[in-house]
Amino acid sequence: MTTSATSSDREKVVSKLPGQLRQNLKIRAAQLGIDIQSAVEQGISDWCSLASTLPTLDTAGADSFSTFLPSGQWEEFRQIATDRRVSLIQGLAQAVQLWLDTNPTPDVQRPVITRRIVVCNQKGGVGKTAITAGLGEALAEDANSLHPVRVAKALTKALRASETEEGEAVLEDGALDIENLPGPGQRVLLVDFDPQSHLTNQLGASPLPLDGDSLTNHMAGAPKGDLRDLIVSVDDDSFAGRLHLLPACNDAFLLDVRLSGVRARESALERALAPVESDYDVIIVDCPPSLGLSMDAAAYYGRRRDNEKPGQSGALIVVQAEDSSADAYELLTTQIEDLRNDLKVDIDYLGIVVNLYDSRRGYIATSSLQGWVDIKDPRVVGLIGDLKEQKEAVRVKKPLLSYAPKSQQSVGMRALAREVL
């Protein structure tokens, strides 16, 4: 946020503003990355400079509104409003609307190359599916609405500030600031690449039938139709058609066997998804807990392409704060390194997400978290607590961010999305 004057140069003013106009002001200021007082200051300045009056706005039901303006600006505004025979409430509403009109909603930032995020870990039960869904939901949230976000840049600082006397990192309630920010507004495809179909089931969709078409068929070079026909939309009321799902099919249990007979099998997932890539800004793949050929194909899909900036696509590793996740992490990173070396490709690590964290579990949890924080490369980009809302959302088969949009887990998912962006 920016301000045009220090607090000592400003005075508090109180007036009234229609509720919808005030909401639009809050959203637009957040979209443009400036604070509300600077926006109002500019609007009033421009309004005072006009050569003629503006059309009258409906100010019925206007509520109390206060802000800080440069010393003397409100008195000048008051005098000009008197000269124009306009009430202060009407003049302020016109000034705010003038600022909105001259500072339009910025376009959603879309990548030149569709970003590909591979959510992975060889160990099952760490919550890869929950992270895949939550990340996709957070990326697809409305850019013209404000959503509570845990300030991601404070994550590492908060972990350091919350260390115990033994040097263990813990995350305390209230250690991180919450800020209301516009959604990224990205067009997102979630790919359920796990034959167990957890992502598909959690989002209330149905797995694809065994006797029909599937992602496995397309990867094996035996499609039965257009891949687009398999994709379903997720909760249009919340995500307005920006969030889609490619459901799983149980035939993926045989994927490694079928890939063994496919030429250039590492690029099988890329070939299958290529026809739909241009429809999306981000494609997120929920990987099975496997170190087989399917994981090779997923990791290769997340490789850095020609003219793509580092860190735009790659592997997002989900772990828990316990020892078995560390063992699985070593197996996964070894596989990715082997693939890097064998195929001479760049596969970036987008970071580590420590999921289902609960410091009340004691030394195992806190010391393990410290171990993940100490890795540095890849660094911890998300810390998601083990709370009831995610389990409840799964039970009712709804996206977490529409079921419990203000929950700590939802706030953390939004922070993760901005960290990955």
Weakest mean pLDDT among 102-116, 150-164, 178-192, 324-338: 150-164
In whole angstroms, what is the distance from residue 409 CA to residue 404 CA?
A: 9
Q: Write the pLDDT tens digit of every residue in 346-375.
A: 999 999 999 999 888 888 888 889 999 999
Per-residue pLDDT at 4: 43
Question: What share of the chain has pLDDT > 70, as a percent?
Answer: 92
β-pairing verdict for 282-286 and 115-120: parallel
CB-based contact 120:315 (threshold 8 Å): yes
* 3-state secondary structure (DSSP) of residue 292: coil
What's the CA gap between 38 and 250, in Å, rounded? 56
**Composition of the chain by helix, strand, coil, percent to 5:** 45, 15, 35
Least confident range from 164-178, 264-278, 294-308: namely 164-178
Other C-beta atoms within 10 Å of 111: how many? 15
Q: What does the DSSP 8-state code read for residue 39? A: H
Position of tokens 């962006």? 421
User: What digits encode the pLDDT tens for the residues 91-139?
Assistant: 999 999 999 999 999 999 999 999 999 999 988 889 999 999 999 999 9
- For residues 214 and 250, give the distance between their C-alpha atoms in angstroms, rounded to a whole number: 9
Tokens 């124009």, residue located: 84
- State pLDDT tens for residues 178-223: 899 999 999 999 999 999 999 999 999 999 999 999 999 999 999 9
Q: What band does 22 get if pLDDT is binned at 50, 70 and 90?
A: very high
The pLDDT, as a whole number, for residue 94 is 97
Nearest-CA neighbor of 57 among 27, 100, 14?
A: 100
What is the percentage of the chain residues whose pLDDT exceeds 90?
Answer: 79
Res. 156: pLDDT tops 80: no
Residue 40 phi, psi dihedral angles, 5° rounding? -65, -40
CB-CB contact of 58 with 18 (8 Å): yes
CB proximity list for 66: less than 8 A, separation 6 or greater: 12, 13, 14, 15
Those residues whose C-beta lies under 8 Å from the C-beta of residue 305, and which sit 6 or more positions away, are 113, 313
